[in-house]
Structure formats: structure tokens, C-alpha cells
Amino acid sequence: MLETIGLARSFGALSVLRDVTLTIAAGERRAVIGPNGAGKTTFFNLLSGEVPPSGGRIRFAGQDVTTKGVAARARMGLARSFQRNSLFADLGVGANLAVAVIEAERQGWSLWRPLNRRADIEGKVAAIAAQIGLADRLEQPVTALSYGAQRQLEVGLALAGRPKLLLLDEPTAGMSPDETQAMERLIAALPRSVTVVIIEHDMDVVFGLADRVTVLDAGTVLAEGTPAEIRASAEVRARYLGGAP
Amino acid sequence: MNADPDRQLRWVLALVLMAAGLAAWASTGYFGRSFLAEIALWAIVAMSLDLLAGFAGLICLGQALFFALGGYAVGILATQFGLGALTATGLAILLGLVAGFLVGAVVVRVGGVFFIMVTLAVGEMLHAFLFTSRKMGASDGLPGIPRANLKALGLNFDDAGTFALVALAAAFLVFVLLDRLAASPFGLVLRALHGNETRLRALGANLWAVKTAVFTLAAGITALAGALFAQLNGFVSPDLAHWTVSGQVLIIVILGGLGSIAGPALGAVVVQVAAHLLAKHTGHWMLVLGALFVAVVMFAPHGLFGLLKAGLARGRGRHA
Ligand SMILES: Nc1ncnc2c1ncn2[C@@H]1O[C@H](COP(=O)(O)OP(=O)(O)O)[C@@H](O)[C@H]1O
Ligand SMILES: [Mg+2]
């Protein structure tokens, strides 16, 4: 589904990612962990096309997408959530989701029939809203939502397009324990037709969801393996999981 | 889900404005009706700029370019190529769309304050050209522009009253068109574009195509207003392309309320009527207008439409 070969990115003299080579199978749940500043978000930015790589290649869904733009990759079925919420702040919750559905359904050039007579779009919005637990808040302005609920909407925008590949950048960051559990259940319930890559600091979430874990450290892949292998790895423990138990 | 919550109010305002226009038409003579026609044409320009500035967030300071283009197209085609003014009007709209596409395709690539500056510069280029071109009548402009022959519709376009009614009808049609557009999926995408380009792009939208499309459409509508303006006055001058025209229309839109369509139409009425009344008493009416503008921007950031909305909400709250 996704393959990176020798992926690299520097900002000026600062080399943020170096030689990241990995393969993620269709339907896999992959967690990417690593300390702050390891380059995880930059890795996502390269995958989604927001930041061009300084070297290496990216293959997605059987195509080399290294030089493709953000929108083109999105239309191929790559969706992401952002580490810092990126919502449409002056639209309501339902309208936020409607934008995502409209783009996913290629209805952005539908110019005449009013949206409130588009039962097809409304139905899909309602379904996503139910999935992310915001079904009864469609009419509310985004600014009326708690931070945790905004985080759910952030993930909802990425889900709305029924993507092939879903990149989630710290979806539970700043959430209460209850909200975190709800988010974990939501991700666990996604069909295996979606490949999920998740950047996450909460190790319970990581070990609960992931088939495989990649550890990024200082811009390189420090380790990769099943959750059990990563938990057992002395090196990862020393560098990241906080020493021996 | 109600993705376009202001739709009802903007219809109410549009219908009230139309009713007021018809009442004014019934109670005035030649000058009043010509003035009414002029207001309707400015309302068209303001609504088309609202599509750009209010919905898509593209603050264009070069709308006079397309206004003048529409006016000069009719002027040249009717006086020098012997085309009927009706055909010339159709071609003027077409020219506006083509020019809008060509200019838009380039300028929408620059963002923020640079977009404002580039649109301003492009407008000024046309002004400079019209001002110096002999063929275009230079600083004198083009006189003797005839009005469209609408006999087939049983209308005498040379009559001030008929012209005013057609201008009002054109303004209403533009409102209906833009209202539908605003309520459509495309309209929601425009507001999303305004709010957060990064996210919209990540959802798969081709921002260049969306921006170029609204720029093109707004240019075509503005060219229609310019074409009618040329016929209303019977002449065009380089003044039509001056950046102060673009500036005044932008003020009208902000005063009326960005993104409300009917609000900018109300803004056109207020500004034109105020200018008319003030010009009688003082040569400094622009100064008064400027002060009014500053007051609105400071105390009513959503313009007259926002005031109306807030007032209604308060009234409803009191009666609830
Ligand atoms: N646009 C940028 N310009 C300069 N430096 C950047 C940019 N984006 C990220 N960095 C730097 O790259 C490093 C990795 O950042 P990031 O990918 O956000 O890490 P993580 O998500 O793992 O915490 C940090 O040192 C950060 O300051
Ligand atoms: Mg990060």
C-alpha cells in the first residue's frame, strides 16, 4: 500500500529525516513512535505531499507519487489528520464534514442544487458524525466544541473520504482518558480496507492497535517490529520507553 | 444540517430591496429612474465582488478592470463595428469571462496582500491603456453608444423607466444565480477555501481551479454591469477602469456585509444614495463615506447585513 525508499528531508542545515525506508502492507495498522522532534510529523508531511522530500521516493497504491501534489494524493485515497487541529473554524460541525464528503464524492463542482436538498451528502455526513460521536452536534459551530470533540472532528474530516490510507498524527493528544478510549475504539473499528498509520505517544493505544511499530529517532528508523518485539527491544527501551521496568 | 444559515435572511433582504426599487420607480421620473438603474448596476458589481471577496476570501482590488472591459466592449463593438448593442452586450459578457479566466488563472496563484496588489496593478494597466489609446478615445472616452434593441420583447430600452426595470431585473437575476451558487456544494467549498486552504487541499480540492472559476464568473457578471452602464450613459471613459472604482465597490461590499450577497446590494443603495445626497451639500462626501466605512468596520465587522441579523436575533429573543 505504502512504500518509502531512502526518504530524506532537511530544513537548511538541519537534517530532519534521513534514509527512511519502510513498507506498509494493505490493511495494516502501523504505529510510528519516537521522541518529540524525531521527525514523525515531517514524515507525514512528506507522505501527504505537504512538504517535498529532499531525497528518496514514495510509492502509494502502486504508483510513484513522489512528485504528486497534496490534492492529487488525497484524490488517490490518502487522508490525514493534523497534529494541530486544522478545521473550518467559521463553519458548523456538519458543514465541516460536508466539505470533506463533497470533496471525497467529487461534488465540489455541483453548482446548482442546494446542499440542503442533497440527501446523499447529508446521509454520509450523518454517518461520519455518528462514527465520531458528534451526531447530535451537527448544527453547532466548531468553536462551541471542547478540545477533545474538535479532535474527534479532525479525525472525522480525514475519515469522511473513505480513504485507502489514513494517516493520524497524535489523534488522542490532549484528550481526556474517556475521549482517548473512545478514539481508540473508533480506530479499532475501522474496516481492514483502510490502512492506518498512527503517530501516538500513548503506549496503551499503540500496543492496543498496532500490528507493527516503527520507532523513529533523530530522523532515522531506530527499530521496527511487532508490538511484542518493540516492547522487548533493549535499545528502544533505553532510548524511548524510559529504561528497564 | 444547515450549511447556509443566512439564506433565508438574504432572500428577505433581496425581496425588500426589490420592492423598494419598484416603489421608487413608481414614484419618480426620468432622473430618479436613471439613478435607480445606476444603483442596480452597482449592486450587480458589488454582488459579483462579494462572490470573490466574501465567499472565496479573494480580496480583489481590480474589479473595475472588468467593469470597464464590459463598457468599452459595447462601446467599440456598437460604434465602430456596427453591431447591435444587444449582441455587443452578449460579447461583452463573453469577453469578461475570457479576460477573467486569463487574469484569474495567473493572479490566484499569489496569496494574501500580494493578491490585492496584483489585481490593483492589472486594473491600473487597463486604465493607463484606455487613457492613452487613440483608438479607445483616450482621455475623452467613447461617446454615442446606443442602447440595445429590445423591440422583440416589446420593450423600448431608450426609455429611462424601461431601462431601470431591466437593470433591476438583471440585478435580481444575478442575486438568484449567486444565491443558488452559495447554497450549492460549490458554495460551501468556497467558504471552506476562505477558512482553511491547507485543509481543503488535503481533502483533495484543486484550489487553483476553484479560485480561477470564481474569478472568471465574477468577471463575467461585472462585465455585464459595465456593458449596461455604457448603455445607460451613452458613453464610456477611462474613469470606469480607475482603481477608485474598484475601491468604492470593495467598500460597498464590506459595508453591506461580506458573504451575504444581498448585503452588498444594500450597501450599493446606501452608498449611492448617500453620495447623491451628500454631494448636494458638500464636496467632501467621500470623506463622510470614509468615516461611515471606518465606523462600520470597527463596530459592525459583518456590515449592515450583520447588524440586521443581530437586530432580528435580539428582537426574536425579546419575544420568545
Ligand atoms: N518547516 C520546518 N522548518 C524548519 N524546521 C522544521 C520544519 N518542520 C519541522 N522542523 C524541525 O524538524 C524536527 C522534527 O519535527 P517534527 O517532524 O515535527 O517532529 P515530531 O513530529 O516527531 O515531534 C524538529 O526539530 C522541527 O523543529
Ligand atoms: Mg509531531
pLDDT tens track for B7-55: 999 999 999 999 999 999 999 999 999 999 999 999 999 999 999 999 9
pLDDT at residue number B77: 95
Inter-residue contact B124 to B238 (CB < 8 Å): no
Q: Let me know: does A61 contact A164? Beta carbons within 8 Å.
A: yes
Residue B188 included in any domain: yes
Residue B186 located in a structural domain: yes
B93's grid cell: 459578457
pLDDT, tens only, B121-171? 998 999 889 888 888 888 888 998 989 988 888 889 989 999 999 999 999
Closest ligand 1 atom to residue A40 Cα is: 22
What residues make up the domain containing B98? 7-314
Q: Which residue of B has its CA nearest to A162?
A: B203
Task: Find the CB nearest A139 among B2, B191, B204.
Answer: B2
User: What is the identity of the amino acid at A182?
Assistant: A
Burial zone of A173 (CB within 10 Å; 0-12 exposed, 13-18 middle, 19+ buried): middle
**Burial B1-18, CB ≥16 within 10 A → b, else e:** bebbebbebbeebbeebb
Average pLDDT over residues A147-168: 94
Residue nearest to atom 1 of ligand 1 (CA): A11
Residue ranges of the alpha helices (H) in A87-212? 93-104, 119-131, 147-159, 177-188, 203-209
Length of chain A counted residue by residue: 245
pLDDT (mean) for A110-137: 94
Query: Is residue B119 assigned to a domain?
Result: yes
Look at residue B293 and tell me whether its pLDDT is greater than 90. Answer: no
Q: Is residue B2 part of a domain?
A: no
pLDDT of residue B204: 96
With an 8 Å Cβ cutoff, are A88 and B4 in contact?
no
CATH number at residue B236: 1.10.3470
pLDDT, chain A, mean: 93
CA-atom Rg of chain A in angstroms: 18
Burial of B314 (0-12, 13-18, 19+ CB in 10 A): exposed
CB atoms within 10 A of CB A74: 25
Mean pLDDT of A158-178: 94
Mutation pick for ligand 1 pocket among A42, A47, A84, A168 (CB with most ligand atoms within 8 Å): A42
Overall average pLDDT of the A50-59 stretch: 96
Q: Please give the ipTM for the structure prediction.
A: 0.93
In a domain, B320, yes or no: no
Confidence (pTM): 0.93
- Residue A74 is predicted with a pLDDT of 97
Torsion, Cα of B290, B51, A154, A25 (10° steps): -140
Please list every residue in chain B whose beta carbon sits closer than 8 Å to the beta carbon of residue A112: 180-181, 184
Residue in chain B closest to A126 (alpha carbons) equals B1
Please report the DSSP string for B121-161 in residue order: HHHHHHHHHHHH-TTTTGGG-B--PPPP--GGGT--TTSHH
- Residue holding cell 459579483? B48
CA B184 – CA B10 distance, rounded (Å): 15
- Inside any domain, residue B175: yes
Residues of B in contact with A130 (CB under 8 A): none
> Nearest Cα to B126, choosing from B243, B264, B293?
B243
Spatial distance between the Cα atoms of B167 and A172, rounded to a whole number of angstroms: 57
Cα angle A104-A108-A110, degrees, rounded to a multiple of 5: 125
- Contact between residue A53 and residue A8 where contact means Cβ atoms under 8 Å apart: yes
Task: Name the interface residues of A facing B (CB cutoff 8 Å).
Answer: 48, 50, 70-71, 74-75, 79-80, 82, 86-92, 94-95, 98-100, 102-104, 107-116, 118, 121-122, 125-126, 138-139, 157, 160-161
Total residue length of chain B: 320
- Contact yes or no for B210/B189 (Cβ under 8 A): yes
pLDDT at residue A243, rounded to an integer = 47
Contacts of B1 in chain A (CB under 8 A): 92, 94-95, 98, 116, 122, 125-126, 138-139
Q: Please tell me the predicted confidence (pLDDT) of residue B281.
A: 80
Interchain proximity A71–B204, CB inside 8 Å:
yes
Note the pLDDT of residue A244.
Answer: 42
**Which atom number of ligand 1 is nearest to the Cα of residue A216?**
22
Does B288 have pLDDT greater than 90? no
**Sequence-separated (6 or more) residues with CB below 8 Å from residue A99:** A88, A91, A157, B188, B189, B192, B200, B203
Q: Which residue's CA is the closest to the ligand 1 atom numbered 13?
A: A37
Number of domains into which chain B is organized = 1
Residue B57: inside a domain: yes
Q: What are phi and psi of A104, to 5 degrees?
A: -65, -35
pLDDT digits (tens, 9 = 90+) for B68-122: 999 999 999 999 998 999 999 999 999 999 999 999 999 999 988 899 899 999 9
With a CB cutoff of 8 Å and minimum separation 6, the contacts of B148 are B84, B85, B86, B88, B89, B157, B231
Q: Do B201 and A95 touch (CB under 8 A)?
A: no
**What is the H or E stretch that residue B43 is in?**
helix B30-50
pLDDT higher than threshold 90 for residue B283: no
pLDDT of residue A231: 87
Residue B38, CA distances (Å) to B72, B172, B219, B269, B288 in order? 17, 14, 19, 10, 21
**CB B139: neighbour CB atoms within 10 A?**
11
Asked if residue B40 is part of any domain, the answer here is yes
CB A217 within 8 A of CB A34: yes
pLDDT of amino acid B1? 75
Q: List phi, psi (to 5°) of B78.
A: -80, -40
pLDDT of B257 > 60? The answer is yes
Torsion on CA atoms B257, B263, B268, B273, rounded to nearest 10? -100
What mean pLDDT do residues A46-65 have? 96
d(CA A134, CA A148) in angstroms, rounded, equals 11
pLDDT(A167) > 50: yes
